[in-house]
Structure formats: C-alpha cells, structure tokens
A and B are shown apart, each in its own frame.
Chain A
C-alpha cells in the first residue's frame, strides 16, 4: 500500500486493483480520466521508461486503483509497450481486468479480448465509443453479449461520460463474487484436443489454481509459464505425447505450421459468431468517411509532403519563437535570484558554489521548459489527432533508405532546436532498434546552442555576405552527416534484418484538452525532476573543476596589481589576466593542458581544447570560455567584435574548420547526455554514444583540417 492510497481513502475501505487493457486508440485513458473524483499518479514501469498512469478514486465502499496499461493489439511482445502490458498481466498483481473496446470496430478489438479470456482473470468489458457507434448505425446488444461471453459488457462513452457509473457497478459486482469460467468456444477439432488434455489432468487429479480447461488451452497455445509449471511434474510423461499429437492435429486442421496462427483463426471464427449474434448495422454507409476525405488531402502523393513540411515549420517556429519570450524573463529571474541569494551568503566559496554553480546550472536547464512545453503540446496534438501515423506513411520510404523509420523525422527536426526534447520525443518510435538508432544521430542536428559558436567563427573567417551561407551549409552538412552516420550504424552496430513496418492509421479525432494537458504536464515534470537534480550535481562538479585549486599567491599578486592600476582599462585587463591564469592552473585548465597533445593533430591550442571540454557542460559555454581564455572578460557574446578579431588573429583557418567540425559532431551537452542515457536505457549506451561521436568528430575534423591546410 503506498502513501497515495492512504491519502485517497479511509483505512476501512475495500481495495480493488484493476488493470486497464485495450488496443491502441480506443479511448482508454480518456475513459478512466472521466471518472469525476479521479486523481492521477504517474510513474514508470520498473526498469523501463514507459509511462504508467495510476488513477485512484473512491466509489461506494471501494477504493479503486486503476493501472492504465499501454495499448496493445495482441500479446506479441513487439514493442516495449506490448511487453510491459503482457508482463504486467501475466504477473497477476491485480484483481480484475477492464477491457476497453472500440464499439465501432468490435471484430478487431475482440481479438485481444479472446487472449485476455484465457488469462484466468475476472474481466469487465467496456464497449467504449458507443455514441460514435450509434451515429454510424451500429447497434450492440450488450446484455446478450454479456451472456454469450460470460463477461459483463457495459456500453460507455468517454466523450459523453455515459455508462461510467454502470461500469463501476459491474466491477464492484464482479469483484465481490466468485469467478465464472469464460465461455470461449473453439472449433470441434480444438475442443476435441482440449477434452483429451482435460481428461489426462483429471485422471491424475492434478492440483492447480486455474481450471483444467484453462490449463489445456494454455498448453496448446504454447504458454511458457504453463509449460514451466507442468514440466517438472510426473504427469508430464503422459501429457507430452498427447500434446504433440494435439498440436499436429490442430495445425493440420488449419493448414498452417504455426499454432499461434491457428489460434488466431479460431478466435476470429468465435468473434465473428459473437458479432453476428449481437451487432446490428442498420445503415450501410458507402459514402466516404471524414477520415478518408481528410486523408485524400493529407497523404496525397504530391501534396502530402509539402503540407507536412509546412506544419513542421509552423511547430518549429512556435517552439523557438514563442518559447524564447519567457526565456528572457526567466534568465532575468535567475540572474536576480543569484544576486539576491548571493548577497545573503558571507562565505565567498559557498556563495560562488550556490550562485555560479547551482543556480546558474539549474537555471540553464529550467530555461528550456517553455520550449519543451510548446513542443510537447505540438507533438501531443500530432499524436492524438492521428496525424503522426500519416507522417510515418509519407516519409518512411525516404528514411528507410538510411535505415531510419518514417517517424524518426520528428525527433530529428526537433534536434535542430534542442537535443533534450528531441531525445524525449523519440519515444514516438515504438520499436527499440529504430528508437535507439534515432537517438544516436539526433546530435548531428546542430542545436540552437551551437549557433553562437558557428556565428562567431563564420564571422571571423568569412565576409558578412558569405557568413549566412556558411551557417546554412554547416546545418545542412550536419544533417547530411547524420543520415550517413545512420546508414553506417545500421550496417554495423544495428545490423540485422529490418524491423517490419506495419502500423495502424487511426481515425482522425479531435484532441482532448484534458488528456493533452496531462501528457504535457507529466513529461514536463519528469524533465524538471530528473534532469534538474542531475544537473544541479553536475553543475557543482564543473564549477569545482574550473575554480579549484585556489592559488592564493597568484590572487594576492594580482589584487595588489589591480589596486595599483591607474585606469579602469588596465584594471579590467588585469582582472582578465587573473581569470585566465586562474583557469589555466585549475583542474579544468590542467586537463586542457594535458589533453593538448591529443588535439594537436587538429591544430587546437590548449584554449580551444578547454573550450571544447567546457562545451561538454553546455554549448553556450564554448563562446564564453573562448572569450575568457583570449582574455576579453566574462561579458562576451558572438557579436563582440574584439573576440572576432582575437579569433581571426590567434586561430588559423584550418584549425577553425576542424573546431567547427568537432562542435558539429561531438557529444551533446551534459543535460542532453543525461536525458539521452535515460531514454536509451542505460549508461552503456552513453559510453557507446561517447565513443561513436568522439571517433567520428576526431577523424572528420582531422580530415577537414588537412584539406583546409591544402587550400590555405
């Protein structure tokens, strides 16, 4: 019992833990969110980053905990979502199942129901979208259906909130009575084999919690758990030959070499029988549905892609234009917070740690929250309206050539803004390998924070007219390298047969504000919580490395010099000199010096090496580090002409080219790396990413450096 449950109900209430199961796009989450006094509790399933929504509420004398499981078509364990659902249902830590089905497409939905019926658990079926079914002239006799299946079937509608109370009543009733055997009936051939197995079990008076019939069905379906339970039992000697015969017989009957295919056909036959009995379709609608009409435009062979590109451009613009408005305020706020908090701390070291380390670091992460919120609203809209699957349909052909998936487009484009939401939006890819591959190349899409570096170098080495083109070339070049990298990874690390691409294109729907709000809120909170705590710690580390060890002699020497200095200008110059010398002897500086030989083949001096390494914390820092190291003071940005001058004087063209190449490819910033590690599912992927990007960045920079040397 967890704390949330205690809060929600008095100790005396009876508890019912319910697994909410259904195929994707049946309005499962919406249905349960329409329970009036529900409150949500969001978490992850242990070990995987698939959202788990627990909905807690009280009804009559009962306290309900509903676990909203990810949508699944069947128990095929194809995607993470399907595995999570299957594992949870097999685990059995719940009292009963609510199976939500789409009333407008019963035949498809009942396939999953049939599988649930062999799980030996109480089930209540919610015939959802019943309002829509009525509109389409589909009439379902719910009472008769309940009788035929031996499972209570309740008509519901999440939109009109119809049938919610009836559904809860049915759950309470089922929860308080003993279980009924479900009435799943198979063809004669299968029934014959079932009874043979049941007879064998009866003969040996086999003891089991579930019925013999249920055991027999699970054995025939190759259910591993049932096998494991019986395998060590003496009864197995007798059971095995019966089973082998039975499976052969059934496969022959279905003209198939796959028992699962045979059972699927059995289910279809059974479900068709049920549907013939309980469903009446009054009007045959031969007219094109709204969805078809919309699809005629949106997936048009010619206009489909331009329309999509326009929508993406719009979303992109919104994200980074509107998102940047509160950014200024937030930056000002964190600046103010730093000053205010700083003023209350007397100890200089602690003040620096809190203000320059923690507040600055966490502030930099919180700064991206507006972007993330807008982007996730956009993505939630694309997903919940059903447009996302159309995008995959349109783009899969092109992306598949590079080993990517049609839906990879969304995270990749997002990556041009910021890698963090890009990594998070890669979740739309349901298949592990597609998702991992996409995660690995998101970094090639240059994020917004790299722009200042590019602007600085383009300004230093090219005329103002050329600089824009250079910038564009850098961005396109990065994306192009990303596609090549995807192809290379696909041929090496992610080698293997292509994952199949079979995807439902659901009906277009108007999105639910409540649901989008919840999705966005959940994701944003997770971002703030996890990235925020890690970032605070990491910022402290970077702060420490660049501030320590303190060299008191150096400080005293300069303090006197500064005091003696005649003009403001000399004072500033001396201050800058001090910060350079201080940074040079700090741990970070030592690392920079130490790594200088490593970067020498690329033409970098120790300053550029350090700038690259501070860029690991955040790409924005590269410019300010260069500024400090070339002794211009802390207040530099890409437009300060003196830095541009200093760069063009101190850095050769070839080194600059190599530097840009490294910035384009190497490891994303710390915050993004942490999010990457979490989304990819382990530290080992971070090590792969580090190795991969480092080797790619180093070797390409080396090539670029030497080519540039030839021309200059």
Chain B
C-alpha cells in the first residue's frame, strides 16, 4: 500500500510540475535551433565562397579562366584554372589506380575468402590505416616514397605528382575496402549458398554473384574515394609542390586545387586582391565537385539498399 501510494504521488508530482511543463515547451525550440547550426554551416560555406568568388569572376575575363596559364603573383597576373584542375585529376587518377584494385580485392578477400579469425585481425588493421592523419602520409610521401621512386625513375623531381598520387591511393584503400565489403556482406547468404551448391568455386561466386549483386555499393565506394582524393590536401601540398604547370608528365611538380588554397592562405596574398578572391573561386569549384560526387554516391548506395 505504502509503495503504491508513493508511486502515485510521484506520478502526480511529475505531471503537475510547472517546471517540467515549461521545459517541455522550451526544449524543442532550443534543440531545433542547435540542429539548425549544421544547416547554417552549409549556408555559411556557400555564401562566403560565393560572395568572394563572385568578386573574382567580376574582375577576371571569362575566357582567361579557361586558359592554361596560372600566374597569380606575376606583374601581369593570369588566372587560368586548368593547371589546377589538371593536377587534381592527375593525382586523383593515380590514387584510384592504387586504391581501387587493392581496395576491391581486399574487400573480396575479407567478405568471401577470409576465415573469421583472419577477418578479426585484418579488418582492425585496415581501419588503423584509415585513422592515420593525412599530414603523416604527406611526410611519408615526401621523405620516403619520393626518394624511393627516384631510384627507379631517375628523372623524377623532388616534388612530383606520382608519389603523392600513390600515397593518397594507399590512404584511400580502407575507404574502398570497408564500403565495398559492407555492400558485399549485405548480399543475402542464400544467393551465395545457391551458387556454391551448383558447384561454383568461391572465385566464381565472387565474380558472377557477389559483385553483380553488390555493384551499386561498390560503385558508390569508388565515387566516394574519388571525392576524397579530389578534396585531399596535405599529401599533395607537401609532395606535389606548388609549380603551376599544365602538364601530363607525372614526374613533375604540379599544384592541385587544394594545394593552391593552402599556398595562398599561408600569407602570399593580401585580403582584397584578385589573388585572394581566386582562392574562393577555386574553393567553390572544389565544394561543388565534391558535393555532386558525394550526393551521387549516396543516391546509388540508397538505391542498392532497397533491393534486398
């Protein structure tokens, strides 16, 4: 009796508490306001980039932007963006040549071939690779991979596109591997067992059943990997240098879009110059590129999730 009474009292006290009622009205608004900060961040990015990028496009003739000459600090500055875009594509393509084959085979091995014991060891170690800060990879590319490659390719410059490309690829392997593996593990076991029961080897199951069934997740992981490579900053800034060459020769130094932003903000251009505004134009382009790729990846991945 005693306890029922006290419970009832607690309930009554809870229901009638004025403070509780006030909080109940207040909290949704407060929480909504904080949740909107993330939306404000996106808006902030778009607005700050657009305002200063606009000043750039106003000051520079449209055709000049699509030229291959970039010399922001010259007496007669030229603002062709193609060298930056070219360098970004070159380093990203090299990275994909490393990340996609190794990432995909690692995913296949972990999902289809590895024993539980092996998976328990290999997976966390791959995650370790993903947890290392990019600056460490930059140091590694510049102080180890470049000198190492110089022994193989004597004409390689101290700063070049090849070494950061490779290192960026290694850095992205865990991303490709874990996302692809998620997609492969989501393929229902019945399909796997069906193919095995018909006498397929594990390799045949992987190639003819698992990859086709998980293809949208796998492609999504590739797209996200490209987006990561395009947005990656420190490795290319350190190891690819700041030469504004428009070249397809990957043994030479070239500057990516991200590296341009870093070089220019660390003190070269004063606020208010065209060079300073060009930073935001490049930033805006980079933002749009990566955003489109990420949205594309999410869309494919979502489609895939609905299939099973």
B and A form one assembly: no
